[in-house]
Amino acid sequence: MKRFLCCFLIICTSFLTGCFNYNDIDKVIFATACIVDIDSHGNPIIYVEAFKPQRSVTGSSSSDQRILFRSSRKTMFETIRDINLSSNYKLNYTQNMGIIFTEKAAGQNMQDFIDFFERDQEFVLRANIAVLKGCPDNFINVKLKGQEYVGVFVHDLIENIPASSREVITSLNDFLNGMHTKSRTSVIPMIQIKHDQPEDKIEIGDGAIISNYKMVDTLRRENGQGYNFLLDNIRTGSLEVTNPNAPSKFVGLEIIKNNTKTKMYYNGKKLIVKKIINTKVSISETQSKSNLNSSSIKAIQTNAERNINYACKNIFEEYKGKGLDIFHLVEDFQRRYPREDSDNILQKSELQLDIHVSVEGSSTKTNFRD
């Protein structure tokens, strides 16, 4: 029995050769971001930001080196392989955190480029996807304090989106799912270099509306809040409402919790889309004086509900008129009514809202600047 167990362990250890050791890591360059642009002929131009780890077997110290690559060939696969010709070690894309398309590439046909990221075994579907406003050369060479790698910074920036209620977030997996629905529409974040700061920063602004793998419109940042309320994408964020005690001033509300439920009613001619929005907020600031009694709190809740109602209906009617199903209505309708014809269902839809905002927080401070 012991001899059999020993033989079994020896055989098992012969298959345990897949993990990196220090020697392996020292001979691999890991990509953190890929930027896709196109030339005048429509051929892909790929920028790769990567790091080369340098570790010591005997010491605990470690360091890494930032390396940039650029190449252009007829296809994505050929371009990626061409980049390896200028690297002393093979590039590994398992740690890639961002896939970024320039506006020029997104406006042509992303299907020519996205297929490679979907098929290649090293690229992960959880990577973030975004559209870049501006020059890719300036973007990949931007100097950021606190984070040397643009890919890591963009990843952390997108992970911080839940702190706002106006930006959109989409992973490669979410984007591909959207492209495989009947409406073939998805909204992905747009990033750019912000120059109006003491030092250059990268920020997330508008959203790029992709229909059938092509950028066709832009979701403005100010309209993002209504979009996120309708799709139940809001977890935290802010609302600004009119101060009931000073109509020219505002009260700042912090969103503590939000939940949006969807109900649909179809009679063969019209689709009623009912969104039930329940939002809990707390008062974060108030301009001018404010007496937070039951009457003023009720007024604040009413103003917040009115603002959410306007934001949701405004964006719904805008993109319904454009025929862009950024709300995944067709997919939701097919799931609820699989035997009904979903053609032109967006134009047959009517939005109804049932909004409830409740103000929560400490009651120890009821008045501001009496």
DSSP labels, 4-72: HHHHHHHHHHTT---S--HHHHTTEEEEEEEEEEE-TTS-EEEEEEEEEEEE-SS-S-EEEEEEEEEEE
Asked if residue 304 lies in contact with residue 156, where contact means CB atoms within 8 angstroms, the answer is no
What pLDDT is recorded for position 36?
A: 96
Asked if residue 183 lies in contact with residue 202, where contact means CB atoms within 8 angstroms, the answer is no
Both tokens of 355, joined, read 């909004």
Asked if residue 202 lies in contact with residue 144, where contact means CB atoms within 8 angstroms, the answer is yes
What pLDDT is recorded for position 1?
A: 63
> CATH for 221-370?
3.30.300.210
What pLDDT is recorded for position 196?
A: 77
Asked if residue 353 lies in contact with residue 275, where contact means CB atoms within 8 angstroms, the answer is yes
What pLDDT is recorded for position 146?
A: 75
Whole-prediction pTM value? 0.85
Three-class DSSP category at 148: coil
Q: How far apart are CA 189 and CA 204, in angstroms?
A: 7
What pLDDT is recorded for position 155?
A: 87
Count other C-beta atoms under 10 Å from residue 73's C-beta. Answer: 16
What pLDDT is recorded for position 315?
A: 95
What pLDDT is recorded for position 264?
A: 95
Q: In degrees to the nearest 10, what's the CA dihedral of 333, 327, 216, 35? A: -110
Of 228, 226, 222, 221, nearest in space to 192 by CA = 221
Asked if residue 329 lies in contact with residue 238, where contact means CB atoms within 8 angstroms, the answer is no
Q: How far apart are CA 78 and CA 96, in angstroms?
A: 19
Three-class DSSP category at 353: strand
Both tokens of 311, joined, read 């934001």
The DSSP output letter for 346 is T
Both tokens of 324, joined, read 């862009």
How do the pLDDT tens digits run along the chain, 370 residues long?
667 666 666 666 665 555 555 556 778 899 999 999 999 999 999 999 998 887 654 444 456 788 999 999 999 999 999 998 888 888 899 999 999 999 999 998 898 899 999 888 889 888 999 999 999 999 998 888 778 889 888 888 887 766 667 778 788 999 999 898 888 999 999 999 888 777 778 888 899 999 999 999 999 988 889 999 999 988 888 898 988 888 888 999 999 999 999 999 999 899 999 999 999 999 988 887 777 788 888 999 999 999 999 999 999 999 999 999 999 999 999 999 999 998 899 999 999 999 999 998 644 455 555 5
Residues forming CATH 3.30.300.210 domain(s) in the chain: 221-370
Both tokens of 365, joined, read 């401070």
What pLDDT is recorded for position 14?
A: 60
